[in-house]
Chain A
Amino acid sequence: MRTQPSVEVGTEWGIVSARQAGRELAKEVGFNNVDQARIATAISELARNIYLYTENGVIELEVVEKDALKGMKIIARDDGPGIENIRDVMEDGYSSSGGLGAGLPGVKRLLDEFDIESELGNGTVISTIKWLR
């Protein structure tokens, strides 16, 4: 298991560097063109949430292996206000940022595993995995 240096998302440029780092690692792991786009897009969505709602946050990228499977783990970690209504944000069409509201449910559909933990006042950790087909 290998951890890539995490990418700080404090500015809009952080979003760009996070998804570029994600795409590069995805390429290295051997994901095809479409999966690379899925991963880069998902990271972009996660990083944008951090940028919009919190002061500090990071995107961590990691290569994972389970049995014969190889994959890429993407963790978005912030110390922001936390999410009050997780069920709401996981519903299609919900948006508190004026985006298309595809954010988190969209991310869930793009990747294979999706896990969210949030505590009011203590931040949010979203942990996701895309497995190599």
Chain B
Amino acid sequence: MRIPILKLGKYLLISIQVELDDQTAIQFQEDLLNRIHQEGSQGIVIDLTSVDMIDSYIAKVIGDVVKMSNLMGAKVVLTGIQPAVAITLVEMGVSLNEVHTALDLEQGLETLQQELEG
């Protein structure tokens, strides 16, 4: 299963709508990095509104994706993390340090704009 990556101007938009298994997560990591390379994207929004569970492994994959994208010169904003997901992550002691977040897609795009255009 592959997660679709949409292009919107200078940005890439990803809305994760499926239950994330390990294979899908890794595939997504590869796809996204290739796409950043192709498009020279500077900003990425990953929307997690439909994700109802993130365990430590998936959190690591997401954290890695953010770091790798940053290395390639693209800023990432995670949006729509559900309260229940946020609470479990914090209780487990998983912190997604220095990752930008926003409430929803709209505010995520605003955050990117502020970041990139100053």
A residues whose Cβ falls under 8 Å from a Cβ of B: 12-13, 15-16, 19-20, 23, 33-34, 36-38, 40-41, 44-45, 48, 92, 99-103, 105-107, 109-110
Contacts and interface: CB of A to CB of B under 8 A. Distances in A.
B94 A110 contact: no
A100 B91 CA distance: 14
B93 A41 contact: no
A15 B84 CA distance: 20
Interface residues of B, number: 23
A50 B56 CA distance: 15
B3 interface: no
Contacts, number: 75
Contacts of B8: none
Most chain A C-beta atoms within 10 Å of own C-beta, residue among B19, B55, B93: B55
Nearest to B55: A44
Contact of B56 (A36, A40, A102): A102
Contact of A48 (B19, B57, B83, B87): B57
Interface string B59-86: 1100100000000000000000011110
B104 interface: no
B22 interface: yes
